[in-house]
Each structure stands twice: as C-alpha cells, then as structure tokens.
C-alpha cells in the first residue's frame, strides 16, 4: 500500500510479538523497525519479521522510515518514550495506561497537539465485535435506558506467569491501572464519560514472588493497591460498580453487565476483541444471544494502530484515542484519590466517545 504508515516498535517485551504479528497482516501499516533498551530482545523480535530492522531507541527515533512509534514499554516509561517520539516528529500509539499519571499524560497530549501529531492508546479491544455489538444493542434501545453497570476483573496476580512482573506492582500498575483501562474504556464507550467517582482499596501483601521464567522465586515489593473497588457516576446518570483485584484466587463473576429500564445486557471480556453478547428483556424474560453485528472482525492487538493510520488518511481522530485514554486515566487516578481521602472525587476531564465501528471492516478499508 503506497501510503502505508511506517511503524517502529519501542519495547520488544512480552506483548510485542502479538502486535508485530497483527501488523504484518493489516493493510495501511508497515512495521519497519524495532528497538529496546535490551538490544537482544529487539533483535529476537525483528528476526521473526523479514525486512524489519532492530536497533537502539535513539536510532529508531532518528529514522526516516518510522512515521509512528508503537510504544510497548512498561507504564513507568510510557510518557518519556512518547515525548521523545513526539520530539522526533513521530506520531505515537502506546500501550495502556497512557502514562503513569495524568500530569505525565497531559504533557504527552499537549506536546503532540503543539507539534500537530496524533496520539493513540490501547486498549483497542473495544473496537472488536464483542464490545461493538453490545454498543449497537444499547444504541438500538434493547434494554431501554441504561441505569447501572457492573465491571469485575479478579485474578491472583500476573506474577504467576509474567517473567518480569515488578512493573505491575509499582505506581502506574496495580489491577486498576493495568486492567482498568479495558473495563473503563468499555464502560465509557457504552455509557459515556464519567463525572464523579468514589472508591476503597486494599493492599494485603507487602511482597510478591515471581512464579515463572528464569527469575522464578524472586521476591519483590508491592507499592500499589492490589484490590480496588469503586463506583463511577457517568455524566448521563448511570452508575457503574467496579472491582479490580490481584487478590482473588477464583470468582464466578460476570465481566461487564449493563442494566436498563427494559432489560439487561451481558458484555464479553473487554480484554478480548470478541465474545458472546447476551440480552435479557422484560418482555422475553430469558437470556438470548445477540448475533455479532458491529466491530472489526478477527481483530487483535494492533487494530488500534491501523485505525490511527486510517484516521491520519481521513483527517479524523483515531478511535483508540489519547483523549479517551486520558479520561480513563483521570477516572482511575481520581478513584484512588477518593479512596485515599474517604470521599468522592469529581472527574474534570471528559472525552468524545469514538464513532461506532462498522461490522467486519478492516481499519484502512472502511
């Protein structure tokens, strides 16, 4: 494709192969380079993708064949890498959260705006058929007026499987900042921006132990809340109840449900692109499957980057946008603030909910 956006990946860790694999099959984007502080990791990733060059981050930032930096570093480095990319005249698309805090995140958005560059951010799972079909059902009025929602994510912790899990337990990590972006991006897409939030948190264990990989058995400190509960008041009035935990061995909880004046909607796992959407209506009095009818089919991590490429060609904002990611980060930060102060916190940021994704379209084709 002649006008394909050239993508350079910075951060060749655990998630990078998933992105590289998707980018290799998507139109509108071409992966040209990969870089990491650990040169061996960059070389290992590039080796699987012919034509992709491995090198140091500075080299990638200076390269003419990179239009957008795909920032797959750890959350604590997201802002610094994004700012360096913007200073080098590159668009940026980053893994979640947008930054470790809203001050850093604002500096990224402001720098990009000044430079006339775009900022996109994960999660792009909300662009898949699962969430988009649920959104379409809500928009069709299947459950009447939304009143409330629940969002539950419980796990014993990522240190069981991740070879370098320390970042999950530092500020910018924890169950809320790590998994919250999937759930909150979904809730904001379904129910609109959030205006007020309250919460409570716990951190029952001071240390964790790596359970897999070459460093298994290593004990490291926990510096974040690992069990987070909260209530979000959306600007439209609906209330979402949230529980995000790294302290639960097992639970038989729904992922996301939305409750309306005329029924209920069961929304699939927002960490995945597809999944069953189920509807209960007051008239039918039973749960039925809602057939897939919206969203990018067969999507995977990287569709948000292709959607950013599409938006640059169209001159429209990206769907997995920096503004949405900033609002989500603000909601999470305010929730922790409210938990700390024992009050509720106002969320002063807002965002435009991105336009629905047409069924089956590949970004760049639509």
Ligand X SMILES: NC(=O)c1ccc[n+]([C@@H]2O[C@H](COP(=O)([O-])OP(=O)(O)OC[C@H]3O[C@@H](n4cnc5c(N)ncnc54)[C@H](O)[C@@H]3O)[C@@H](O)[C@H]2O)c1
Residue recorded with tokens 């870089």: 35
Minimum distance from residue 68 beta carbon to ligand X (Å) = 16
Contacts to ligand X from residues 144-203, by CB under 6 A: 164, 178
Q: Judged by CB, which is closer to ligand X: 81, or 325?
A: 81
Q: Judged by CB, which is closer to ligand X: 77, or 186?
A: 77
Strands 239-245 and 146-154: parallel
Give the helix/strand (H/E) hosting 150: strand 146-154
Find the residue with minimal CB distance to ligand X.
13
Pick one of 4, 9, 10, 357: the residue that binds ligand X (CB under 6 A): 10
Q: Judged by CB, which is closer to ligand X: 28, or 97?
A: 97
Minimum distance from residue 233 beta carbon to ligand X (Å) = 27
Q: Judged by CB, which is closer to ligand X: 16, or 264?
A: 16
Pick one of 20, 31, 52, 72: the residue that binds ligand X (CB under 6 A): 72
Span from 7-15, 246-254, 291-299, 320-328 in contact with ligand X (CB under 6 A):
7-15
Contacts to ligand X from residues 251-310, by CB under 6 A: none
CA distance 93 to 85: 10
CA atoms within 13 A on the CB side of 261: 4
Among candidate residues 153, 210, 167, the one with its CA nearest the CA of residue 78: 167
CA distance 22 to 104: 29
Give the helix/strand (H/E) hosting 207: strand 207-209
CA distance 268 to 117: 33
Q: Judged by CB, which is closer to ligand X: 183, or 280?
A: 183
Contacts to ligand X from residues 113-132, by CB under 6 A: none
Minimum distance from residue 48 beta carbon to ligand X (Å) = 15
CA distance 238 to 197: 12
Pick one of 95, 142, 257, 269: the residue that binds ligand X (CB under 6 A): 95
DSSP-derived 3-state class of residue 46: helix
Q: Is 346 exposed, middle or buried (0-12, 13-18, 19+ CB in 10 A)?
A: exposed
Residue recorded with tokens 């990224």: 108
CA distance 117 to 218: 41
Q: Judged by CB, which is closer to ligand X: 82, or 117?
A: 82
Tell me if 8 contacts ligand X by CB under 6 A: no
Number of residues located near ligand X, criterion CB under 6 A: 22
159: which DSSP letter? G
Q: Judged by CB, which is closer to ligand X: 73, or 266?
A: 73
Tell me if 55 contacts ligand X by CB under 6 A: no
Tell me if 75 contacts ligand X by CB under 6 A: yes
Among candidate residues 96, 167, 142, the one with its CA nearest the CA of residue 265: 142
User: What residues make contact with ligand X under the rule CB under 6 A?
Assistant: 10-16, 36-38, 41, 57, 72-75, 77, 81, 95-96, 164, 178
């Amino acid at each position: 494709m002649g006008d394909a956006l050239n993508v350079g990946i910075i951060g060749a860790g655990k998630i990078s192969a998933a992105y590289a694999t998707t980018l290799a099959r998507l139109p509108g984007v071409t992966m040209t380079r990969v870089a990491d502080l650990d040169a061996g990791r960059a070389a290992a990733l590039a080796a699987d993708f012919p034509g992709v060059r491995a090198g140091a981050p500075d080299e990638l930032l200076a390269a003419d064949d990179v239009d957008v930096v795909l920032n797959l570093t750890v959350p604590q480095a997201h802002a610094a890498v994004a700012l360096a990319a913007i200073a080098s005249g590159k668009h940026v698309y980053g893994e979640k959260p947008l930054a470790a805090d809203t001050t850093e995140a604002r500096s990224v958005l402001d720098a990009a705006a000044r430079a006339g560059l775009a900022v996109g951010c994960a999660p792009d799972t909300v662009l898949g058929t699962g969430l988009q079909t649920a959104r379409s059902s809500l928009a069709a009025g299947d459950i009447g007026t939304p009143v409330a929602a629940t969002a539950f994510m419980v796990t014993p912790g990522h240190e069981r499987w991740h070879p370098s899990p320390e970042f999950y337990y530092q500020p910018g990590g924890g169950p809320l900042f790590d998994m919250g972006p999937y759930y909150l991006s979904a809730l904001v897409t379904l129910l609109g921006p959030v205006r007020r939030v309250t919460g409570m948190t716990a951190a029952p264990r001071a240390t964790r132990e790596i359970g897999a990989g070459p460093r298994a058995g290593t004990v490291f400190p926990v510096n974040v809340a690992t069990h987070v509960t909260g209530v979000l008041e959306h600007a439209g009035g609906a209330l979402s109840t949230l529980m995000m935990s790294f302290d639960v061995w097992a639970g038989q909880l729904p992922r996301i449900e939305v409750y309306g004046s005329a029924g209920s909607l069961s929304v699939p796992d927002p960490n995945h692109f597809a999944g069953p959407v189920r509807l209960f209506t007051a008239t039918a009095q039973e749960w039925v499957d809602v057939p897939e009818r919206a969203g990018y089919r067969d999507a995977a991590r990287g569709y948000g980057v292709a959607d950013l490429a599409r938006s640059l060609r169209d001159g429209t904002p990206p769907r997995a946008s920096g503004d949405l990611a900033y609002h989500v980060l603000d909601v999470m930060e305010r929730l922790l603030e409210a938990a700390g102060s024992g009050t509720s916190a106002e969320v002063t940021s807002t965002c435009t909910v991105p336009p629905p994704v047409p069924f089956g379209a590949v970004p760049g084709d639509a």
